[in-house]
Structure 1
Amino acid sequence: MASRMGRRVERQLLWALARVAVVSLVALALLLVGARAEFGWVDSTRDFSIIAGALLLVTVVLAAAVVRSTLRHRLRPLQHVHKVIHLVMRGNYSRRVPIARADDFQPLTRAFNDLVDQLAAASETSQAVADIDRLMLSSAGLDPVIRKVLTSARMDGMEVALILRVAPPSERLTIFRLEKKQVKEEAVGLVEISDQSLDSVAGYQHLAEGLCDGELRECLPIAPESSVSGVLVATGRRPLTSAESKRLADLADRLAVAMTNIKRSESLYHQAHFDGLTGLINRRAFEDRLQECLARSWRGEEGAVLFIDLDHFKKVNDTEGHKAGDRLLVEISERLKTTLREVDTIARLGGDEFAVIITGMEEEKAVTRVCERIVAAIVKPIVVERLEHAVGASIGVALFPEDGQSVDELVMKADSAMYRAKESGGAGFAFFDDTLNAASRHRVLVESRLRKALEQRTLEMHFQPKLRLSDNSVTSCEALMRWTDAELGEVEPSTFVPVAEETNLIHEFTDVLVSKTADLLLQADRAGVHLDHVALNASARQLMSEGFASRFLGMLDQRNLPHHNVQIEVTESVFAGDTKTVVGELDTLRRAGVRIALDDFGTGYSSLNMLRELPLDVVKIDRSFVSELDSSEQGRILVRHLISIVDALGKEVVAEGVETEKQLQYLRDADCEYVQGFLISKAKPAADFIRLVADWRTGHNGTLLKLVT
């Protein structure tokens, strides 16, 4: 096309030059004839040359003027093209090249204008996509994105609409349209879509044909995470251009990406701020809400914090299992929602602990009525797995800003009040006051300091040797946790272990036990001291937690601690609840090579049948039986029979609490395999323990060696 237009211009220029030449020659001839007839000019060749040269010069000048004029006229469209190109290069797509009817460059300029139209459309689409990306990054939500899509999809002579199922798998649909620069939403009733499939584009297309006016020209799927959630449709009397179709496709794809990102962001936010079981907010979100309420309390907006701990929940969890306990917690959360106002904040802090923030109640009586309603709602029997369970609620109340002006202070005081309510028998409530008994305040302090000790890793392990009577050797020990606090001093295990179990801090003990045991075995190996195994204590709360065995074995492997060097000791009480779960965890440990010992045998729920069926390697006779060996013949007979029974079952026997030589001698005579107690040694730090064992083997510890031989 360009070569054809070039040849046409060339012919026009030649034709113009030919006309100038003919006119010039004719003028020259007439001039010569007239001059000779009138004046007798051009009598010589010289005169003729002068005149002819002058006329030729005039002819060239005229020809140049004609050519210049012709070129300027004919090439004017190209000048317009040049100007538009410069504007396009600066991002301005508003100008087009004018097209004249008799213009030889008409096909070229028309094609150029179409190209500018496509570039403008592509630029507009790119800008729209960039704007949508910015909205995604700013977490603006879905509504601004929908508005941007519909605004960017506007086209002359076309109606664009968005049919969207915002929250699948809900069947509620919404159709979005842009009317007078405002997004209009219209809900699509369930009756209208009851017979339509919403799993494919075809179903949405059929729906769009009934909802949108005009002929359907485009129906593009909106498929976040490869699941069709709607369509972007265009209707009108004319077909879409390729550029318009591409723009709609790009916008539909970007909307799908935006919906995916928004869904994932909402999911991450929900995981970070909400409890996965009950749907209530978690501890982190609760503390944020409480901080906001405290900020408003300076303007006179008073309120209360309620700490709720369920009574007898552990019994349900232990006897019926975790699934039943979870269903009970869900039911409790629903009862709290129906009992409290929508403006009140309800949170699950973990386990069976809930918390509530009540605002707008200035009188203590109003808070009292709320607590009474909560207790009455929770105490009603709950049916789980066709079994009726009765739990109660102990509630501690702290008022703000009266009782505290910080989150930590209010939480601590509400927690203290809750324990006073529980000590009063449960199924009740108590307000915090400065007369709270010393025991409650001490318990709160123990919990606070214990958390800090775990964070700073200041808990210690002491190791008590076990003496093998067959050869008077020490090749094993029991690890016992010790805690000396800068503020509390030396804290007995009987004080801090129950607190750890109540607050679930007991699970963090496992890491301390494994770490300190690995360090001991490494130090012993370097000192040339061989230890067959180290016994670690595990509580019922630890064994009842799902996956305890696998996590414990993972910790051993992480520290390169051989499984056969570890023995887990459990008390009889762990079998009082969900025996199946506990036995499953112990069996997993035993099959992995970990030894299992039953501690404090004879004081709890064990029976001879249990000894035979449980996955046990060792049975430890409780110190209460050993203590009677000095004074009771009946006690001596009982211990001898216990040793015989355990031996007959093929399990090792360890006697605990040996404190006198007489007890030691009797146990030796009764063929007890191992003894443990203060007579042998108290629990010692790792370095002292290794030194004790080394001295024992070399005979340097003469006093003890004399006792056992």
Structure 2
Amino acid sequence: MAKDGRGGGTTPRRLTGRAFVDLAVWSTGFGAVIGAVFPLFAVALGVPSHNAFAPLFVTASLAAGVLVGLANHRIAMIVVGSRLDHMARSMAAVRHRLEEATLTGDWVACDPESCRIEVDSADAVGMVGDAFNALLVSLADMRRLDALSLKLSECLKSDLDFETRVRQVIELTRVEAGAVSGAMEMGEAAAGAELSESGRQRVAVPLVESDPSFGRLVFEFGDMWSSAAAAVAMAARHLGVAAQAEREQRELRHSAHHDPLTGLANRVLFTQALTRSIRELPEGRSLAVMFCDLDRFKPVNDTMGHDAGDALLVEVADRMRQVVRGDDLVARMGGDEFAVLVAGLEGPDHAREVADAIVRRVSHPVVLPKGEASISLSVGVVVVDDPRHDPAEVIARADEVMYVAKASGRGQHRIVGAGAL
């Protein structure tokens, strides 16, 4: 270590700092030391001391030591210097290729195999060559990963649906990373690299480290390149960001079209579905719109509290869902009002049967934390058989018919056709 020249701290000695000058100083100095102590060895070997310490002998010993040191330095310059010079020229040639490739974008002539330095020793010089070759491999891997990153970004920016983009990302990564197979797996499992049952190297990376519900990318390799795992990790990161954005968008779309309390469709989604169903109504077919209002809901809120009222609404929503078919739509229109869209009536009595079933199912007592609530449901039904009807007018008419049913004694339904709209 050496002082940094500013009075404080130290900095590492420069790797290239006067290497051969230092070698000359040390070689000459060591030779001089050997020459200085040589008379002592001479005495130990039986040379008379008056001869061994004679000025001429001492001077000759010092001169011989210095000459041997200088000779060693020169030999080192010839042997090591020539190898370093060859290595430096090879590195300079590779640097020139890299500069040209950077300007032209053509990296064919700069692959690690064609640019590598031949290393035939395990000494310090050989270690430098190995480090340079490893650097070339790392640079090639970085270019390969950069290219993959750009392709992944372009793929995920497309307007295709998310599932299609996932398949494209998996196939793109499989090809670019040289994998045998690739897939998206769901559920919790350990990430990392391991041998698969087929003996291939298996790499698994979660899309989102903190949330395993997003799944993970799993690729199998027959012959892994140095940064294959990094390529899989990069694909997982790109896909993880896209998956999080997709989930957020899906949640936003869901919250914009669904009631947060019951999970049912809201008025917006119900109106959209009704508009589409009326517009696409086949000739000779009909649909039914049912507008439903809970009877005696306010006393539950007043006597048991709003939490009990919310629990009651959730229970009513579940009961209505259980009655209708899977392709029928149940919505909460607001407060204690619900609506049902039966998009394809199966006969003249179908609407009446569905309304009867809903009224009976909802009218069963509901057990709440603070007691049992007895409620009923009034339903107004409008049957639509003409695609020219206005959806808003159909809903308004069903609302009016519901009040007729409620005025008739509650817990009942009334059905009218939409012909008068």
| TM bracket, shorter-chain basis | 0.5 to 0.7
Q: Which residue of 2 aligns with 1:288?
A: 272
Q: Secondary structure at the match of 1:348?
A: strand
Work out the CA distance in 2 between the residues paired with 1:346 and 1:155: 48
Q: 1:675-694: CA deviations, max 9, x gaps?
A: xxxxxxxxxxxxxxxxxxxx
Q: CA deviation at 1:289?
A: 0.4
Instruction: Note if contact 1:142-1:262 (Cα within 8 Å) is conserved in structure 2.
Output: no
- Separation of aligned partners in 1, 2:352 and 2:156: 51
- Is 1:128 aligned with 2:114? no
TM-score (norm 2): 0.64
Is the 1:128–1:152 contact (alpha carbons within 8 Å) kept by the matching residues of 2?
no
Q: What secondary structure is seen at the aligned counterpart in 1 of 2:327?
A: coil
> Does structure 1 residue 357 correspond to structure 2 residue 380?
no
* 1:214 alignment partner, one of 194, 199, 202: 199
Residue identity opposite 2:412 in structure 1: G
Matches within 5 A, 1:664-679: none
The residue that corresponds to 2:57 in the other structure is: none
Distance across 1 between alignment mates of 2:177 and 2:388 = 64
State how 1:593-632 maps to structure 2 within 5 Å.
none
Q: Does 1:323 pair with 2:307? A: yes
1:373 has 2:357 as partner: yes
The structure with the larger Rg is 1
Question: Do the aligned partners of residues 413 and 211 (structure 1) sit closer, same or farther apart at CA in structure 2, a change above 3 Å counting?
Answer: farther
Question: How far, CA to CA, are the matches of 1:150 and 1:283 in structure 2?
Answer: 41
Amino acid at match of 1:377: R
Please state how far the C-alpha of 1:357 moved relative to its aligned partner. Answer: 0.9
Given that 2:284 and 2:385 are in contact with CA atoms closer than 8 Å, whether structure 1 keeps it comes out as no
Q: Pick the aligned partner of 1:414 from 391, 398, 402.
A: 398
Judged with a 3 Å threshold, the aligned counterparts in structure 2 of structure 1 residues 238 and 284 are, in CA distance, closer, same or farther, namely: same
| 1:152 matched to 2:173 | yes
8 A contact 2:364–2:374 mirrored in 1: yes
For the aligned residue pairs, the C-alpha RMSD in angstroms reads 4.2
Distance in structure 1 (CA, Å) of the matches to 2:165 and 2:89: 56
Higher relative contact order (CA 8 A, sep 6+): 2
* Distance in 1 separating the partners of 2:418 and 2:116: 98
Letter in 2 for 1:204: A
| Unmatched 5+ stretches in structure 1 | 9-76, 166-172, 174-197, 442-709
1:274 touches 1:285 (CA, 8 Å); kept in 2? yes
Q: 1:117 aligns with which of 134, 137, 140?
A: 140
- How far is the alpha carbon of 1:235 from its aligned partner? 4.8
Return closer, same or farther for 1:217/1:391 CA change in 2, 3 Å cut-off.
Answer: closer
Deviation at 1:231, TM superposition (A): 4.0
SS at structure 2 position matched to 1:361: coil
How far does residue 292 in structure 1 lie from its aligned partner after superposition?
Answer: 0.4
Query: 1:246 deviation in Å?
Result: 3.0
Q: What code does the residue aligned with 1:118 have?
A: D
Partner in structure 2 of residue 275 of structure 1: 259
Select 1:4's aligned residue among 86, 96, 109.
86
Taking the aligned partners of 1:249 and 1:276, their CA distance within structure 2 comes to 36
Q: 2:208 aligns with which of 220, 223, 238?
A: 223
Count of residues in Structure 1 that have an aligned counterpart in Structure 2: 326
- 1:303 and 2:326 correspond: no
- In the TM superposition, what is the alpha-carbon distance from 1:378 to its structure 2 partner? 1.4
Distance 1:99-1:93 versus aligned 2 partners, 3 A rule: closer
Cα distance, 1:416 vs structure 2: 0.7
| Structure-to-structure mapping, 1:283-682, within 5 angstroms | 283-297=267-281, 299-361=283-345, 363-385=347-369, 387-402=371-386, 405-432=389-416
Shift of 1:368: 1.4
Aligned partner of 1:141 in structure 2 is 162
- Preserved CA contact (<8 Å) 2:287 2:345: yes
SS in 2 for 1:430: strand
Identical residues among aligned pairs (%): 28
Provide the rounded CA distance (Å) in 1 between the counterparts of 2:116 and 2:318. Answer: 78
TM-superposed deviation, 1:269: 1.1
Distance 1:6 1:410, change over 3 A: closer
Q: Distance in 2 between matches of 1:385 and 1:395?
A: 27
CA distance change for structure 1 residues 142 and 434 in 2, over 3 Å: closer, same or farther?
closer
Instruction: Name the CA distance, whole Å, in 1 between partners of 2:261 and 2:344.
Output: 29
Shift of 1:391: 1.2
Is 1:204 equivalent to 2:190 in the alignment?
Answer: yes
Q: Which amino acid aligns with 1:431?
A: I
The letter for the 2-side match of 1:258 is A
- For residues 246 and 160 of structure 1, what CA distance do their matches in structure 2 show? 16
Provide the secondary structure at the position in 2 that maps to 1:329. Answer: helix
8 A contact 1:421–1:428 mirrored in 2: yes
For 1:289 and 1:212, how far apart are their aligned partners in 2? Answer: 49
**Residues 124, 152 of structure 1: 8 Å contact kept:** no
Work out the CA distance in 1 between the residues paired with 2:293 and 2:404. Answer: 12
| SS at 1:346 equivalent | strand
**Residue identity in the other structure for 2:414:** A
SS for the counterpart of 1:275 is coil
Q: Secondary structure at the match of 2:377?
A: strand
How far residue 3 of structure 1 moved from its aligned partner, in angstroms, is 4.3
**Unaligned 5+ residue runs, structure 2?**
1-82, 119-128
Q: Deviations over 1:355-406 (max 9, x none)?
A: 0111222754221122111111111222222733221111111222459711
Q: Could you say which residue in structure 2 is the equivalent of 1:11?
A: none
Alignment partners' CA distance in 2, 1:235 and 1:301: 54
Q: CA deviation at 1:4?
A: 2.0
Cα 1:3–1:217 shift into 2, 3 Å: farther
Q: Deviations over 1:327-368 (max 9, x none)?
A: 222221122122111111111111111101112227542211
Asked if 1:261 is matched to 2:245, the reply is yes
**Superposition deviation, residue 144 in structure 1:** 2.2
The 3 A distance-change label for structure 1 pair 6 and 210 is closer
CA spacing shift, 1:403–1:409, aligned 2, 3 Å? farther
Deviation at 1:147, TM superposition (A): 3.8
Partner of 2:47: none
Rounded to whole Å, the distance in 2 between the matches of 1:210 and 1:427 is: 66
For 1:112 and 1:323, locate their aligned partners in 2 and report how far apart those are by CA, in whole Å: 66
CA contact (8 A) 1:281 1:347 kept: yes
